[in-house]
Structures are given as structure tokens and as C-alpha cells.
Amino acid sequence: MSGPLTYGMGSDPVAVAKVLNDFAKGNDKFVILAGGMPNAVMTAKEVSALASLPSRNELLAMLMGTMQAPITKFVQTLNEVPGRFARTLAAVRDKQAAEA
């Protein structure tokens, strides 16, 4: 390693990779040569792939949405039964009122 070097550190490796990758796209003189994570050395291509991943918060939001979907659909189904019953009674009432 020779010349000026830049190190980026953070608790979220995806966020660090995104910031450095975005900066490298806008500046021709800034070139990512390698990256590192605990117990791993990464090539520039691997750093770019890491930067394309969703952030930790986005992944947690996706996970929560996936976990909530079955419960939400179940509640909607349970709510639909009394709603349909009420609409049927209203239609019968309206029909009887129209006939009278």
C-alpha cells in the first residue's frame, strides 16, 4: 500500500460501503482497492456488492413486514365476516323497504 490511504469504519458495514462507493463514483481519483471486515479481506468488487445491499434498517423493516403479513391477512379475513353479514342485512332491509 502506497500513497494516500482512506479508511472508513462504522457499526453498519453496508452503510460504510455505500458512502465510500458513492463517493468513488463521483470522484475519479478516489479508487476502492480493497475492504475488510472482521476475519475477512474483501476485493473492490465485493465492496461494491456489499454497497448494493439494503441497509440494516431496511432489512429489519422487510423482515417485520414479512412477519406481520399473515397476521394482517388473518385479521382482515376475520373482519370481513361480520362486515359481509352487516351489508347483507342492510341489503335485505333496503329491499323490504322498497317493496313496502
**R_g (Cα) of the chain, nearest Å:** 28
Instruction: Flag whether 41 is in a domain.
Output: yes
In this predicted structure, what is the pLDDT of residue 1?
Answer: 66
Given a cut of 90, whether residue 33 has pLDDT beyond it is: no
Given a cut of 90, whether residue 28 has pLDDT beyond it is no
For residue 3, is it within any domain?
no
- Domain span holding position 95: 65-100
Position 56 confidence tier, pLDDT thresholds 50, 70, 90? confident
Output the CA–CA distances (angstroms, integers) from residue 30 to 36, 44, 76, in the order listed: 17, 12, 52
DSSP 8-state symbol, 53: S
Domains: count for the chain:
2
Does residue 6 form part of some domain? no
**For residue 1, is it within any domain?**
no
pLDDT of 64 above 80:
yes
pLDDT > 70 fraction of the chain, expressed in percent and rounded:
99
- Identity at 65, one-letter amino acid code: G
> For all residues of the chain together, what is the average pLDDT?
88
